[in-house]
Amino acid sequence: MHKPTAIMPNGTLPLNGESMPIFTPAYSRARGIFTNTTAVGISYRVAASQVTHLVPDVLELEEEPLMTSLFLSYGMSPVGSYTEYAHQVEVTYKGSKFHYNLLFILDNDAAIFAGRELLGFPKVLGKSVIQEFTGTRLVTGSTERPAGRKMVEFEFVPEQMDTNAPPPDRWMLNLRNIPSPHVGQPPSVQEFIPVGLGMKCDEVWTGKGYINFPRKSISDPWVNLDILRYEGSFMARNATAELLVRQPPQKPVCY
């Protein structure tokens, strides 16, 4: 007599599109709200020749493109608390202007995974500091990558307070890119995603800002910049920020 074939057990975890590892997802899919946020933004212009090699060939630059350095500290969010540095350049894509996100440096792995996988934010590990209490009117800060290797420093002098944050002048733009597992094949995913960061602030200060890139680098070519002139600076305190994703235009329905 043949023994009956044993029925082997299957896993019970449903495949529901969560992040890896799926039995304990690396990040929450909750709405992207960030409370008790501090942000310092400094804008400046550089020669296009210093950034063309960092920008996809379908994006257009001015001769002296506008750059923005953002230093952020998030008090709490669905992915926890963290600090972040954002490095952006103004581009034109399909007739519209965007702040193209070149690089984000932060100290929270859940925020790195969520930003990269879902929305194409070019996020890497590092550490930023915003020092509000310096014994003077000066606000200072810096970003390190890796820890101990300072890549960018800032100074900000507040001059005038406004209780209303100015609305974002344009959307940011991410390149969401997932390479193919097969060498030599096109990417599995490659798309541009317009995103935004809306802010409600208790206070916004405008003032004078200064950015310094203290080293040249082969491995981090984004720091190899010579600033031509500054275009404006601000500091927002006690803000609530919301991550926004622009919806694609609806195709007309034909009857």
State the CATH number of the domain containing residue 192. 2.40.400.10
Beta strands in the chain (DSSP E): 33-45, 66-74, 82-93, 96-106, 123-125, 127-131, 139-144, 150-162, 172-178, 189-212, 229-245
Q: How far is CA 1 from the centre of its chain?
A: 67
Mean pLDDT along residues 29-33: 92
DSSP 8-state assignment for residue 60 = B
Residue 209 in domain: yes
Domain of residue 231 covers 33-245
Can you tell me which residue has the tokens 């039995």? 23
Confidence of residue 246 (pLDDT cuts 50, 70, 90): confident
Residue 27 in domain: no
Would you state the pLDDT for residue 127?
A: 97
What phi and psi values does residue 76 have, to the nearest 5 degrees? Answer: -160, 150
**HSE (CB half, 13 Å, CA atoms) of 137?**
8
Burial of 34 (0-12, 13-18, 19+ CB in 10 A): buried
Instruction: Quote the pTM value.
Output: 0.91
Catalytic residues: 123
Mean pLDDT along residues 55-70: 98
Residue 15 in domain: no
Overall domain count for the chain: 1
Residue 21 in domain: no
Would you state the pLDDT for residue 169?
A: 63
What phi and psi values does residue 215 have, to the nearest 5 degrees? Answer: -145, 155
Residue 55 in domain: yes
Please list the alpha-helical segments (H only) found in 59-168: 109-119
As a whole number, the mean pLDDT across the chain is 93
* The pLDDT of residue 128 is above 60: yes
